[in-house]
């Protein structure tokens, strides 16, 4: 029975580890690096991702759509740190900062935010202000300034927004500051193992999991039954051996009896005499 218990535990562990292992065998195409909560819109089932994490492909690039801004290119996704790094295809991160409203998305900026004011000026400001080139034109100059600064008369107030960074020509490329994190509530909160198992459950759908589990279960039952019968057979063999042993004992006993019957020690002296005579 000990082995049976061990086997049951072993099988359970096997089934569990199998269930936790996220894999790509269940549905057609493989998208390296894309897994729950993200999914490829239109190509992966709805339940394989979380709402708001839909990605799509266009010209060999992976995009994510933000309702208040538009499409941004996915640079990297780090699942353990829950960090989504994006690239602005229009190459104007300050414009993303200005227009992106994350309140209806599952994302928030990865960085600590600070409020800044965007101002739109008809003339250049002093050199202590650096205009944002991608938002400025020949006749208008956009600056991102501290909220404490009251804009000069030549400037229009655009908006005050909480953003990770102000504009700096030295810290500016098409992705600087475009890092987001996400927060999933509910059972899949910390992107841990539990989350992955849910991923798998969702990814594979009922069929995939059913197949895997059913195969595991069938294998388990088969082995258990085999083991049971093997044990029964073994018992039978043992019983047979025991029976044979008993038989053997009887035979030996008989022989012994016969021997004893012939043993000189037990033979009476008169008999000896008879024998001698």
- Taking CB under 6 A as the rule, does residue 25 contact ligand NAG? yes
Residues 225-244 that bind ligand NAG (CB under 6 A): none
Residues 70-109 that bind ligand NAG (CB under 6 A): 101, 103-104, 108
- Taking CB under 6 A as the rule, does residue 24 contact ligand NAG? yes
CB of 8 to ligand NAG, least distance (A): 24
Enumerate long-range contacts of 245-254, CB under 8 Å, 24 or more apart: none
- Round to whole Å and give the CA distance between 219 and 174: 53
Q: What DSSP string runs through 43-108? A: TS-GGGS-TT-EEEEETTEEEEEETTTEEEEEEEEETTTTEEEEE-TTS-HHHHHHH--GGGSSEE
Candidates 20-28, 146-154, 209-217, 224-232 — which segment interacts with ligand NAG by CB under 6 A? 20-28
- Round to whole Å and give the CA distance between 38 and 72: 15
What b-and-e string marks burial along 110-132, b requiring 16 or more CB atoms within 10 Å of the CB? beeeeebbbbbbeeebeeebbbb
- Taking CB under 6 A as the rule, does residue 183 contact ligand NAG? yes
> Which of residues 7 and 69 has its CB atom nearest to ligand NAG in the complex?
69
- Round to whole Å and give the CA distance between 47 and 49: 5
- Taking CB under 6 A as the rule, does residue 185 contact ligand NAG? yes
CB of 30 to ligand NAG, least distance (A): 5
- Round to whole Å and give the CA distance between 251 and 2: 37
Over the window 144 to 163, marking each residue x when it contacts ligand NAG by CB under 6 A and - when it does not, the resulting string is --------------x--x--
What b-and-e string marks burial along 2-25, b requiring 16 or more CB atoms within 10 Å of the CB? eeeeeeeeebeeebeeebeebeee
Please identify which residue in 47, 90, 140, 213 interacts with ligand NAG, judged by CB under 6 A. 140
Please identify which residue in 55, 142, 144, 163 interacts with ligand NAG, judged by CB under 6 A. 142
CB of 59 to ligand NAG, least distance (A): 4
DSSP 33: T
> Which of residues 60 and 126 has its CB atom nearest to ligand NAG in the complex?
60
Q: In what helix (H) or strand (E) does residue 248 lie, and over which residues does it extend?
A: helix 193-262
CB of 175 to ligand NAG, least distance (A): 20
Candidates 23-31, 240-248, 249-257, 269-277 — which segment interacts with ligand NAG by CB under 6 A? 23-31
- Round to whole Å and give the CA distance between 45 and 206: 12
Please give the residue ranges that form the binding site for ligand NAG (CB under 6 A): 22-25, 30, 32, 59-60, 101, 103-104, 108, 120, 135, 140, 142, 158, 161, 183, 185
């Amino acid at each position: 029975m000990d082995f049976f218990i061990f086997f049951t535990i072993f099988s359970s562990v096997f089934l569990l580890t199998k269930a936790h292992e996220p894999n790509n065998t269940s549905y057609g195409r493989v998208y390296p690096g894309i897994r729950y909560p993200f999914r490829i819109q239109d190509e992966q089932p709805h339940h394989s991702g979380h709402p708001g994490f839909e990605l799509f492909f266009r010209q060999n690039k992976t995009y994510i759509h933000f309702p208040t801004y538009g499409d941004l290119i996915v640079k990297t996704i780090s699942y353990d740190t829950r960090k989504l790094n994006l690239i602005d295809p229009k190459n104007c991160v300050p414009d993303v900062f200005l227009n992106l409203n994350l309140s209806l998305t599952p994302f928030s900026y990865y960085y600590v935010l600070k409020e800044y004011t965007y101002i739109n000026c008809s003339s250049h400001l002093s050199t202590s202000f650096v205009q944002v080139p991608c938002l400025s034109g020949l006749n208008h100059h956009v600056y991102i300034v501290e909220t404490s600064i009251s804009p000069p008369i030549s400037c229009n107030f655009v908006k005050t927004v909480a953003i990770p960074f102000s504009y700096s020509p030295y810290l500016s490329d098409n992705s600087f500051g475009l890092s987001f994190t996400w927060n999933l509530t509910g059972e899949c909160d910390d992107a841990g193992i539990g989350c992955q198992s849910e991923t798998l459950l969702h990814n594979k759908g009922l069929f995939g999991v059913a197949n895997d589990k059913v195969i595991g279960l069938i294998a388990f039952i088969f082995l258990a039954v085999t083991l049971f019968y093997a044990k029964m057979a073994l018992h039978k063999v043992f019983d047979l051996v025991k029976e044979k042993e008993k038989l053997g004992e009887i035979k030996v006993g008989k022989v012994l009896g016969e021997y004893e019957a012939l043993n000189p020690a037990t033979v009476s002296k008169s008999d000896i005499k008879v024998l001698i005579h």
